[in-house]
Amino acid sequence: MKKAALGIRSLGEDFGLIITSPMQRASHTAEILAQALKKKPKVIFSKDLLPGAFPQKIAGLIARYKKQNSLVLVGHEPDFGIFASYILGGRGSAIELKKGGMCRIDIPFGKARGKGTLIWLLSPRYLCMLAGGQ
C-alpha cells in the first residue's frame, strides 16, 4: 500500500480530506495515503463507511462535506463498487475495486445518482508502477 500511495501522489491530485471506515485495515490504509501525499489531508472516521454501507448513505456522507473540492473515501468492497456504479448510473457492482486500488469520479455539486463521471480507475499494480523509483 505504501508504494501504491506514492503512485497516487504521482497523479498530482490535491485531496483536502480523507474519510475512512473506522475498521483497522481501512483506517491504516487512509493513514498511509495521508502520509504519502504532498499536502497532508485531514483524516476523519465515519461509521457510514462500515461494511454493508448502502450507496445512498455514502452519497449522503459526501453531501455533508460539499465544501471540499476533492476528498478520498476509504472503505470496503463490494460496497465501493456498488457505490461507484450508483454514482455513475449503473446497477449492482459494475466496477470492481481491488484492495489498494482507487478510482476518481467527479460529481457535480448537489447531484448524486447517475450524475458522476468516471475519470480514472487504477489497480494497485498500476499505482505501484506509477510510483516508479519513488
- Output the domain CATH number for residue 57: 3.40.50.1240
Look at residue 14 and tell me if it is in a domain.
Answer: yes
Read off the pTM.
0.88
**DSSP, res 70:** S
Q: For residue 57, report the phi and psi dihedrals to the nearest 5 degrees.
A: -70, -40
Look at residue 124 and tell me if it is in a domain.
Answer: yes
Give tens-digit pLDDT for 23-63.
999 999 999 999 999 889 999 999 999 999 999 999 999 98
Region 102-116 average pLDDT: 79
Number of structural domains the chain divides into: 1
Look at residue 22 and tell me if it is in a domain.
Answer: yes
Look at residue 134 and tell me if it is in a domain.
Answer: no
Beta strands in the chain (DSSP E): 17-20, 42-45, 71-74, 102-106, 117-122
Give tens-digit pLDDT for 123-132.
999 999 998 8
Region 94-121 average pLDDT: 82
Look at residue 102 and tell me if it is in a domain.
Answer: yes
CB 89 within 8 A of CB 114: yes
Q: For residue 117, report the phi and psi dihedrals to the nearest 5 degrees.
A: -125, 120
> Which position has the higher pLDDT, 90 or 51?
51
Residues of the domain holding 16: 2-128
Look at residue 23 and tell me if it is in a domain.
Answer: yes
Q: What is the pLDDT of residue 96?
A: 81
